[in-house]
Every structure is written in structure tokens, then in C-alpha cells.
């Protein structure tokens, strides 16, 4: 039996070809399992912060296209709004999220599945690790775009959990993606922090690092950041300015599965892989596993939901399986930008991080009590 898959694709100024990439990556994952027949129905949904546009897109996929499952990048703040539609029709929806904000316990429902890059969790761990290994005083800088999510709270929570203290926070790139951040950087160094943490991606990352590396005050101060500050798509442009920057990520980029995905995706798109494509690929893998379990027998969306809940496979980030809250759990890798023998810059994994008990305690509390602040669009979709 052929599975009908609805795909909501947002616009993105940060990944301009995202609308083309998501269906490609999804199909790559689906094709990992031989014998699974499928049909894709693609629905554009703007920049995905427009609640009505997203909600109407889900309704069209369900009513007009009669899909069995929906895949879409989504900020967790819209999960309940979209849930009003797909939940009432008992259609499973796989939400792809960078993990810029946590999915709260109040928004869980049996038909909502979350495949997250878990950036909130990684940022908490980066804060904790930095306090334990680099220093107890830090300052943070963020572009107005990257600072509009809960990353800052996650870092501060993890940092303070290990007795670190954030001395000052500042926001750059308020007017444009290329404005000069030097004044903010120089001002924040008046605090004499032991390191700087940067919340940046895309053009803001390039602008920030160009300015940061030219300032004498930054020469002997470690720089840490979100994984997107030295995303693989930026390394050639950043060059030596990226060297030594440490980040934490749920994707090591290493291993046979990762290397195969990276090679095949680049071959199909002529572009460097990105996290949104990874999440779509993994969603395709796990949908294929669920459909394959029916062995050609007829199924309904509600039966597919049950199959998704127990499906297991191996993806680029390791084991893919939803837990009892319909979320995929991941590991965290500490990385550093280094230069290979061939002169190519890479994010090299230094170690796999084991979270302390306090991490799990604070994560549970945050999922119960954290209030959404800032942007509603999925991270890197604006």
C-alpha cells in the first residue's frame, strides 16, 4: 500500500533553497528502505510564523490530499495550534525542529512526533562544560535573529548550574545582517570575561567573526558558540577565522551513515548539507520503517501512528526511535574547528559529552514551566 505524505515547506532567508531541499532529503530517507511505495504532497507555508497559513496548509493536506502523515519544520510554539487540526483527524505529524525552544509537556499529544536537533539541550551542556573546563565568568553576544529564541536561557541555566556567572549580554546586527558589531564587542570586553559565547548563524556569523578576529582584545579569549556559528556551509568563507571555535552539537557528522548522507545529499543538490535536511532525511527513514512493518497490508493513519511509535532504525546521528513522549533522543558532541592535513577546515569531535544528573532535572522543570519568548518561526527560517 502506498503511503501519502504531506510536506509543509517554509521559506528561509538563511537557507534559501530549503523549500527544494526538504522533499529531496525526505525522499532520500524513504528510499533507504526498499519496497516502500509513497507519494509526496508539498504545501508551501510562507515563513512559518504565520499561524493561519500553517494551519490552513495542514488542513489542505488532510482534506484535499488525504495524506496519511505530515512532515514539517515547526517552532514548538505552534505545535498546539497545528495540533487542533491534525489531532482531530487522527493524522500523525512529525515536527522537525532545531530545538531552539523546548516542546513543553502541555503540548504533547499522541499524534505529534518530534524529531529535533536538540539545540536547547546542547546549549545547556555547552554552558555547563564551559564553566567546568574554561572559566567561571563569561559574556555573551547574539545577533537579534539568533537571540530571539531560548538559547540564551539554556546557556545561562547550564553555566550557572556549574557555578558560572554571565557578566554581560549584548545584541548585535539589530538593523542589518552585515552591520559592524565592533562597538558591542569592545564594550563587552571591558568586563574581562574568561571566554565569549556567540549566538550567530549565516551572514551574521561571518560579519561577527570578521570583526571579532581583528580586535586585539579578542586575541587570547576563547570563543564558543552555537554549532551554526561555524556551520559547514560557512567554513570555506570564514577560513582561519573559524579555527579553534568550540561548539556542542547533536550531530557528529562522522560515521558511515553520516558520510553517506552528506555525500549523497551534496550529489543531488550541489549544496552542503544542513540540519533541516538531516531532520527531513531521518523523518523519511523512520516513516519508511513504519510503513515497511505492514508488509503490504492496508493501514490507516491511526495504525501508522502506532507503527511510528515503535519504529527503529539507524540514522546519521545514531539510533532513531521515539521515546514515550514521541521525541527522538540524541547524544551531544563537543567539537572544535581544526584544519586537516589537506588544508580543509572541519568541525572535529573532541569528545562525546555525558550529561550530569542536574541536566535531566532542569530539563524536566523547563518542559513544565518554560514560557515561550521571541520568534515563532522555526530557527533558520526567517
Domain ranges, ordered by start, for the chain: 3-118+254-320, 120-249+331-369
Please enumerate in sequence order all residues whose Cβ is within 8 A of that of 8, keeping only pairs 6 or more positions apart, or say none.
43, 44, 45, 48, 54, 57, 58, 61, 70, 71, 72, 73, 74
120 touches 332 (CB < 8 A):
no
Per-residue pLDDT in tens (0 to 9) along the chain, 382 residues: 899 999 999 999 889 899 999 999 999 999 999 999 999 999 999 888 888 999 999 999 999 999 999 999 999 999 988 998 999 999 999 999 999 999 999 999 999 999 999 999 999 999 999 999 999 999 999 999 999 999 999 999 999 999 999 999 999 999 999 999 999 999 999 999 999 999 999 999 999 999 999 999 999 999 999 999 999 999 999 999 999 999 999 999 999 999 999 999 999 999 999 999 999 999 999 999 999 999 989 999 999 999 999 999 999 999 999 999 999 999 999 999 999 989 999 999 999 999 999 999 999 999 998 888 789 999 998 7
To 10 degrees, what angle do helices 275-292 and 18-30 make? 30
The CATH number assigned to the domain with range 120-249+331-369 reads 3.40.50.2300
Architecture of domain 3-118+254-320: 3-Layer(aba) Sandwich (3.40)
- HSE of 14, CA atoms in CB hemisphere, 13 A: 24
Asked if 3-118+254-320 and 120-249+331-369 have one fold, the answer is yes
Q: How far apart are CA 317 and CA 349, in angstroms?
A: 13
Please enumerate in sequence order all residues whose Cβ is within 8 A of that of 341, keeping only pairs 6 or more positions apart, or say none.
none
pTM for the predicted model, two decimal places:
0.96
234 touches 205 (CB < 8 A):
yes
To 10 degrees, what angle do helices 18-30 and 256-269 make? 130
Amino acid at each position: 500500500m502506498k503511503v501519502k505524505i504531506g510536506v509543509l515547506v517554509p521559506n528561509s532567508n538563511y537557507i534559501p533553497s530549503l523549500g527544494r531541499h526538504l522533499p529531496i532529503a525526505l525522499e532520500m530517507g524513504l528510499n533507504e528502505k526498499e519496497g516502500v511505495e509513497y507519494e509526496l504532497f508539498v504545501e508551501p507555508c510562507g515563513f512559518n510564523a504565520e499561524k493561519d497559513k500553517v494551519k490552513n496548509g495542514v488542513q489542505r493536506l488532510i482534506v484535499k490530499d488525504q495524506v496519511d502523515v505530515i512532515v514539517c519544520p515547526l517552532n514548538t510554539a505552534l505545535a498546539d495550534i497545528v495540533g487542533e487540526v491534525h489531532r482531530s483527524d487522527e493524522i500523525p505529524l512529525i515536527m522537525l525542529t532545531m530545538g531552539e525552544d523546548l516542546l513543553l509537556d502541555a503540548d504533547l499529544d499522541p499524534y505529534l512526533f518530534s524529531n529535533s536537533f536538540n539545540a536547547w539541550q546542547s546549549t545547556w551542556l555547552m554552558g555547563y562544560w564551559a564553566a567546568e573546563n574554561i572559566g567561571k565568568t563569561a559574556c555573551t553576544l547574539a545577533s537579534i535573529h539568533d537571540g530571539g529564541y531560548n538559547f540564551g536561557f539554556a546557556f545561562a541555566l547550564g553555566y550557572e548550574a556549574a557555578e558560572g556567572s554571565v557578566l554581560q549580554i549584548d545584541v548585535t546586527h539589530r538593523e542589518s545582517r552585515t552591520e559592524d558589531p565592533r562597538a558591542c564587542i569592545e564594550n563587552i570586553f571591558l568586563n574581562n570575561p574568561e571566554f565569549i559565547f556567540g549566538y550567530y548563524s549565516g551572514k551574521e556569523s561571518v560579519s561577527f567573526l570578521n570583526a571579532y578576529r581583528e580586535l586585539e582584545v579578542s586575541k587570547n579569549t576563547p570563543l564558543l558558540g552555537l554549532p551554526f556559528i561555524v556551520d559547514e556551509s560557512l567554513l570555506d568563507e570564514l577560513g582561519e577565522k573559524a579555527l579553534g571555535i568550540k561548539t556542542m552539537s547533536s550531530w557528529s557528522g562522522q560515521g558511515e551513515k553520516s558520510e553517506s548522507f552528506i555525500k549523497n545529499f551534496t550529489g543531488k543538490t550541489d549544496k552542503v548539507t544542513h540540519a533541516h535536511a538531516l531532520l527531513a532525511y531521518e523523518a523519511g527513514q523512520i516513516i519508511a520503517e513504519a510503513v515497511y512493518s505492514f508488509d503490504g497490508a492496508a493501514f490507516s493513519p491511526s495504525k501508522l501512528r502506532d507503527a511510528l511509535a515503535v519504529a527503529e532504525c539507524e540514522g546519521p546521528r545514531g539510533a532513531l526511535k521515539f521515546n514515550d513522549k514521541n521525541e527522538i533522543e540524541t547524544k551531544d558532541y563537543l567539537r572544535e574547528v581544526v584544519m586537516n592535513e589537506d588544508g580543509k577546515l572541519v568541525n572535529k569531535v573532541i569528545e562525546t559529552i555525558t550529561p550530569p544528573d542536574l541536566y535531566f532535572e532542569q530539563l524536566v522543570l523547563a518542559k513544565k514551566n518554560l514560557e515561550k519568548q521571541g520568534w515563532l518561526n522555526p530557527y533558520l527560517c526567517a
